[in-house]
Chain A
Amino acid sequence: MTLRHHKLALVVWLALMLASVLVIVQTRFVADLSAFMPKAPSARQQMLIDQLRDGAIARIVLVGIEGSDEAERGRLSRLLVSQLAHNPRFTSVQNGDSQTQQRDQRYFFDNRYLLSPAVTPQRFSADGMRTAIQDTLDAMSGDAGLVVKKILPRDPSGETLQILEQFIGESQPHSSNDIWVSRDGKRAVLLLQLAESGLNTDAQAEALADVQQTFGRLPARHADTRLVMSGTSVMSVASRNIIKSEVERLAALGTVLVVALLLLVYRSLPLLLLGLIPVLSGALVGVACVSLGFGHVHGLTLGFGTTLIGEAVDYSIYLFIQRAGGNEPRHFWRTIRLGVLTSITGFAALMCSSFPGLSQLGLYSISGLVTAALVTRYILPGLMPAHLNLRDLSGPGLRLQQGLDLLTRMRWVLAAALLAAVAVLVLHKQDIWNRQLNALSSISKQQNQLDAELRGDLGGNDMRYVASFSAPDQESALQLAERSRRVLLQLQRQGVIGGFHTPDELLPSQASQRARQAALPVAAEASQRLQQALSGMPLSADQLQGFLADVERSRSQPLLNRQSLQGSASSVLLDSMLIKRANSYLVLMPLRPTGEGAQGDQIALDKVRAALVSQQLAQVTVIDLLEETTAIFDSYTHEALLFSSLGSLAILLLLGVTCGWVQAVRVTIPLGCAVLCVVAIFDASGIQLTILHLVGLLLVVAIGSNYALFFANKQQLGNETEQRQVEVSLVVANLATVTSFGLLGTSSVPVLSFIGSTVALGALLALVFSAMMARIQPRAHA
């Protein structure tokens, strides 16, 4: 390369760096888990995931107050509610106190003639009233007599009972001294609803911090009391924080480790700095490319940056060590080029992934590696001193060669390892795939446990079975919900489902409300019919004047709307069932299994679907969320399996085309063995594989092929010294890779640790196996 060319290259490089920095400065970095949640394949699944992540359900925060004694916890619970009630960051703050309960009871009692599905013209005829009143008296004679007696004077037809009926069988939070407490009574529990949707993690984080601070400042709080929180928002804020701190830690540690390794090998500061130039250039261009391609950069992509350090630094290691003698090994760049190409092929397969996080990683790695390789090829040689003052590596090199020679003679180990791996996989019957979506979540076991406890404490529905549909506006959504309710009620009576909720229980459609108003007789008529109805009954009309007044008032009362529920616990329930979206309303109706019999925790959804279809309600879809999420995850595992296989195949083809098939086979066998052994090791240690392990295996092939290529490159073999240099560089490069991926393996974020541990282990095995299989024995030994 001429000096002029080199100057040109330098200018281009500097311009590229400057441009990258400019892009990065304006980049938005995100750190929530969304990038590693799959983009759902179907609109229905997407809708569900959106709801779980951002919808009303995701706005609910479960809070517990622990420590001290019950009286103190109760006092703090009340104080917390009073202090948060007026905070605009919360749309609802509840601890089960009688005030809120009374608000709900008032809503149902005062509006009973608009809310009760039993209100029809027939029911308010003389005969209908008679039957209804007799039913109420019968109920009074029974075990709930004390409750019924209270409502009799104003509600003799028992509409309140009709409404309450819809909530029978619900598990309610336990109460003690008028506030909610946990099942074991050891914590006071509260329910908050955040104003901000899950899309705004920052705002949610602030709201959660508000709760913590408010609790911390409660007057005269006993020091041994503490606040615990759970819910989707708490989880996403927590995992964001973990990812943030992990990325910082990994980047710092990864740099330190690789720098230390290089210093140990080079023993030269200038060489170290030169060696880092391709890495830094690659990282800058990589981040800039992702930012341009995706509009934002995920924190986890940066976390993988450490792995790029490990791979990109290899090129300069090869260059420095192999050129230490002053002359460029023959075909050196050709081998590097092939190595880069195989890696790119591997990462390109990642780009096709439906996980936005993985495609970001693919783009980041490809752009970063290409940049690093180009910088090593066109910038570094010009910056390198004519004679490298590299530490004499012939001593360790010689020993290393002896070691490798030993390995080469031990080819049978490869066969043994292969046999052992196959045996493990065949004999070990456990499912090697982990099918749980939360396997990728960075939420700790303790947090999950707390979440399950608090949900149980608050009598929460775990939302496994949902019937849902969307409608253009609120009125049509509620009307459709009313039709669905009739079918669901039938199914409940048949014992197909244990219970359900529909939004119209809390807010009937305007049409139904009007129809119910119209069913109520005018005052004079009502009074006359009541007289008739009561003949021969132990009750006189004089005692029911309150009833007549309420009926008259209900006939002309303003219709109920969403605001009517303001401040009640029911409004939170309604929000989770009737969801306003940009152009439509989404209705989610939770279904409860019967809880009886061998399969009491399951619902025969085909029966539910058939019943809905028979009533022309085919647009209502019934979903088992557990099954759906498992299905989504399975489909991604399949996808990952497909693209990993295609990626590996592409790498093989590339090798075959460029270096001939014999060579390709020599390279492939050790790689294949490494992959099999990694899988077998995980299987034997009881670790189930996830998509990310698969991705890791693909990277093992992509990175490991570099080692095999250098070992197997016949043409490259010069004299023994040159070969030694090649091999030293390989081992150092391998150490850098194993170190940086191994570091990822220690991360507490599963996404990072899965890939890290797979690649670290696989790369090491790939080197050892390549030395056994692909390595060509030096002539001296041959």
Chain B
Amino acid sequence: MSKTLAGLAVLLAAGFCQAAELSVADLMQMLGQKKSGTATFVEKKYIAMLKQPLESSGELAFRAPDRLEKRTLKPKMEAVVLEGNKLTLERSDGRKMTVALSDRPEVAAFVESIRATLSGDRGGLERFYTLALSGGAEQWQLNLTPLQPRMQKVISQIRIAGNQAQVKTIEFLQADGDRSEMAITGTSSK
């Protein structure tokens, strides 16, 4: 019995250690296996000037290696489509605006935080951020701190949390103290 208990304890300990030791490489490897997925999101923006948070919701679609689409349905239709180096903003009246990420380093940093995470692209993240990972495979949290001073003026940290290969929340902490929280509910993934 005690042997069994001891064995169990060792196993648990081992399991615990394993979870605690989830490395950035492991996480990236895990995330990178996902080829495509769609999800819904609810985003809340907490802004000091406003008494209540601003809420928006819509759909996310990701296809490896580099296509990410964020389609906001409420309160106003709009969409951001990121494909390769091209970022296209679509507005409710059908007008589109396209920018090249290579032109706008801040925008690139911003969108890479999500895209590179979803595709498990460690190099892409480390171009813009220092990475700090905590938790285990079942519940991990990746904190991204911007490297560029220009980005630091806007964003102080990005916190991404998830379970296995599923990203659950993305939180942007803005330099002025405002923040936004995006909760993601997966609907399908391959």
Contact = CB atoms under 8 A, between A and B. Distances in A.
Contacts of B45: 140-141, 145
Contacts of B96: 169
B49 A543 contact: yes
A137 B55 CA distance: 10
B24 interface: no
A19 interface: no
Interface string A108-141: 0000000000000000000000000000011111
B78 interface: yes
Contacts of A493: 93-94
Interface residues of B, number: 29
Contacts of B75: 138, 141
B51 A539 contact: yes
A540 B51 contact: yes
A142 interface: yes
Contacts of B154: 146
A152 B100 contact: no
Given A149-B47, A495-B94, A140 B89 contact: no
B25 interface: no
A395 interface: no
B47 A174 contact: no
A385 interface: no
Contacts of B100: 174
A498 to B, nearest CB: 9
A538 B51 contact: yes
Nearest to A176: B103
B52 to A, nearest CB: 4
Interface string A488-529: 000011010000000000000000000000000000000000
Contacts of A144: 89
Given A152-B49, A174-B103, A540-B51, A142 B93 contact: no
A671 B178 CA distance: 88
Q: Which of A137, A142, A169 has the largest count of B CB atoms less than 10 A from its CB? A: A142
A137 B103 contact: no
Contacts of B94: 493, 495
A590 B14 CA distance: 70
A538 B52 contact: yes
Contacts of A176: 103
A653 B176 CA distance: 91
A148 to B, nearest CB: 10
Contact of B76 (A139, A495, A540): A139
A138 B76 contact: yes
B95 A143 contact: no
A140 B103 contact: no
A383 interface: no
A145 B176 CA distance: 14
B78 A142 contact: yes
Nearest to B100: A174
Interface string B69-103: 01010011010100000000100011111001011
B154 to A, nearest CB: 7
B40 interface: no
B51 A140 contact: no
A529 B178 CA distance: 29
B54 interface: yes
A505 to B, nearest CB: 16
B143 interface: no
A175 interface: yes
A185 B102 CA distance: 10
A169 B95 CA distance: 8
A25 interface: no
B38 interface: no
Contacts of B139: none
Interface string B37-63: 000000101010111101110000000
A142 B56 contact: yes
Q: Which of B54, B55, B89, B97 has the largest count of A CB atoms less than 10 A from its CB? A: B54
B176 to A, nearest CB: 9
A168 interface: yes
Contact of B49 (A185, A495, A539): A539
A153 interface: yes
Nearest to B79: A143
A531 to B, nearest CB: 15
B183 to A, nearest CB: 15
Given A168-B95, A174-B103, A538 B72 contact: no
Interface in B136-190: 154, 174, 178, 180
Given A141-B45, A142-B76, A143-B89, A168 B97 contact: yes
B50 A539 contact: yes
A144 B70 CA distance: 13
Nearest to A183: B100
A492 B95 CA distance: 9
Contacts of B72: 142-143
B41 to A, nearest CB: 12
Contact of A149 (B55, B103, B178): B178
A174 B47 CA distance: 32
A438 B43 CA distance: 56
Contacts of B93: 493
Nearest to B176: A149
Contacts of A138: 75-76
A153 B54 contact: no
Contacts of B49: 149, 152-153, 539, 543
Nearest to B97: A168
B56 A169 contact: no
B55 A141 contact: yes
Contacts of B95: 168-169, 492
A142 B72 CA distance: 7
A144 B45 CA distance: 12
B50 A538 contact: yes
Nearest to A169: B97
B121 to A, nearest CB: 21
A326 to B, nearest CB: 85
Contact of A143 (B47, B50, B55, B70): B70
B97 A137 contact: no
B103 to A, nearest CB: 5
A221 B96 CA distance: 42
B49 to A, nearest CB: 5
B97 A140 contact: no
Contact of A140 (B47, B52, B102, B174): B47
B7 to A, nearest CB: 53
A179 B102 CA distance: 14
A698 B76 CA distance: 70
A138 B91 CA distance: 13
B179 to A, nearest CB: 12
A175 B107 CA distance: 13
A140 B55 CA distance: 10
Contacts of B43: 141
A222 to B, nearest CB: 25
Contacts of A140: 45, 47, 54
Q: Which of B47, B100, B174, B178 has the largest count of A CB atoms less than 10 A from its CB? A: B47
Nearest to B91: A168
B178 A141 contact: no
Contacts of A543: 49
Nearest to B104: A175
Closest 5 A/B residue pairs (Cβ): A141-B54, A538-B52, A141-B56, A538-B50, A538-B51
Given A142-B56, A149-B47, A169-B96, 12 more contacts: A137-B54, A138-B76, A140-B45, A141-B56, A142-B72, A142-B76, A143-B70, A168-B95, A175-B103, A185-B102, A493-B93, A538-B50
27 contacts: A137-B54, A139-B76, A140-B45, A140-B54, A141-B43, A141-B45, A141-B54, A142-B72, A142-B78, A143-B70, A143-B72, A143-B78, A143-B80, A143-B89, A145-B45, A145-B180, A146-B154, A146-B174, A149-B47, A149-B178, A176-B103, A492-B95, A493-B93, A493-B94, A495-B94, A538-B51, A539-B50
Interface of B: 43, 45, 47, 49-52, 54-56, 70, 72, 75-76, 78, 80, 89, 93-97, 100, 102-103, 154, 174, 178, 180
